[in-house]
Amino acid sequence: MENLSEAAPALLGSTWLKATESRRSTTLQPASSGCHVIDSKVLDGGFRYGEITSITGAKGTGKTTLTLQAVASHLLLDDYCEVAFVDTTGSLDLLRLRNVLAAQMRKRHREADLLQSGFMYRKKDVSFSAIDNVFNDQINSVLDRIKLMRVFDFTGLVEAVSEIGAKWERASNYPENETGKEGDERGHVIASSEKVPEEDEQKVQNNEKLPPSEKTPSGDGDNVSRKKSANMIVIDTIVNVVEVVMSQSRIQGQALMTTFLRSLQQLTSSLQICSIVTNAAIGGSDSISSHNKRRRIGVNASIFASNLSRPALGRQFSLLIDSSVLLSNVSGPGSVEPQHSKHDHFEFPSNAGLIEVLHDRTGSREGKWAAFEIIAGSEVKGLR
């Protein structure tokens, strides 16, 4: 993928068929939202690989928390999983992400201990702080697999995704166990004291591929292999850079957004990337008339009559992605009633949040919803 600003090339039906069969044979477990209720009742397991998911919500609805939980789940899935975090707001809190990683590690530690003990409760003398000390080196190693890319405009967004897409595409073209973590194209890391053979150096200058190396000249002499792994792209928040282009020319802005999202879809599908795009919510004012409330139907309509918010960037944005998730808050303690149900009433506290699937390309998750609350700023607890 060389340039995301260009239109995605047309592909033959047989090519798409092979890609579909390949995806089904290598389907990955979805990235968890950090909440079993949300995963099981709303997302059918979590955020899917090979798809673009939009998380929409106003400030304070849990959008960032849910995204960080998905990032942590992805990084802990495998030692080779990487995340490209494209930040348009400069608000990524790595300390907060570290806390989320530590919490998920503690949870997995407890689950593994229960499984080992035959699900028998055993009192532990070690404290959480002691466990965190053990996890410190692991967490730092996990954080090294995050590539943070700060962008300020739409051009920067395109270049950032193009760069990471080209890197991952090159890595995917190498057979398993022939690509190292970093270094030359033979797949090994060259020590600073090691001299590159002249014939190899000449090939590098001529952009020729080097022959695969059986041995890795690492410090311990062991082979360093890198298997093909799952990757994740997070764009936070896309509306900040797209709205600037649309304010100058809405038609041109929509055209650029369409081209970008179609190219991102091709990259996501071909490399089985879990792409998460956060978006702002608009139209949440209670001053909207009841007539307009009744007219709010379609791909961006909430299933709750009291929820007037919808994703920014319009209907076209929602149709260019695979699934759209909307987050909102319960406006004070009381009952919550889905718009299409006359008999279901649910009571939640005033600090509860709601998550619902507005749009799902497969149709299997559309209309599903759940309630949750955020504890200690990072933990997501399901309420329904």
Assign 382 to helix, strand or coil.
strand
The C-alpha atoms of residue 92 and residue 85 are separated, in whole angstroms, by: 9
Query: Counting beta carbons within 10 angstroms of the beta carbon of residue 295, is it exposed (0 to 12), middle (13 to 18) or buried (19 or more)?
Result: exposed
**Which mean pLDDT values do the consecutive 10-residue runs of the chain (384 residues) have?**
58 70 66 92 94 93 93 91 93 89 81 60 52 71 92 94 93 60 40 47 49 40 48 94 92 93 94 95 57 48 80 89 90 54 60 89 88 86 82
d(CA 281, CA 300): 11
Q: In 10 A of CB 78, how many CB atoms?
A: 13
The pLDDT, as a whole number, for residue 191 is: 41
Specify the pLDDT at position 182: 44
Helix 239-248 to helix 250-271 angle, to the nearest 10 degrees?
150
Cα separation, 372 vs 367, in Å, equals 16
pLDDT recorded at residue 60: 87
| 48-63 per-residue burial string, b: 16 or more CB within 10 A, e: under 16 | bbbbbbbbbbeeebbb
**Cβ burial 248-285 (10 Å sphere, 16+ → b, else e):** eeeeebbebbebbbebbbbbbbbbbbbbbbbbbbbeee
Closest by CA position to 242, among listed 157, 306, 307, 168: 157
Q: What is the pTM of this model?
A: 0.75
> DSSP E strands: which ranges in 76-219?
82-87, 146-150
Distances (CA, A) of 332 to 162, 261, 349: 44, 37, 7
> What integer pLDDT is reported at residue 124 of this predicted model?
53
Rounded to whole angstroms, how far apart are CA atoms 348 and 229? 40
Residue ranges of E strands in the chain: 51-57, 82-87, 146-150, 231-236, 274-279, 281-282, 310-311, 323-329, 334-336, 346-348, 353-360, 369-375, 379-382
Phi-psi label, residue 237: left if phi above 0, alpha if psi -120 to 50, beta otherwise: beta
Q: What pLDDT was estimated at residue 329?
A: 85
Give yes or no for a contact between 35 and 381, defined as CB atoms under 8 angstroms apart.
Answer: yes
Peptide bond preceding 237 in cis form (omega within 30 of 0): yes
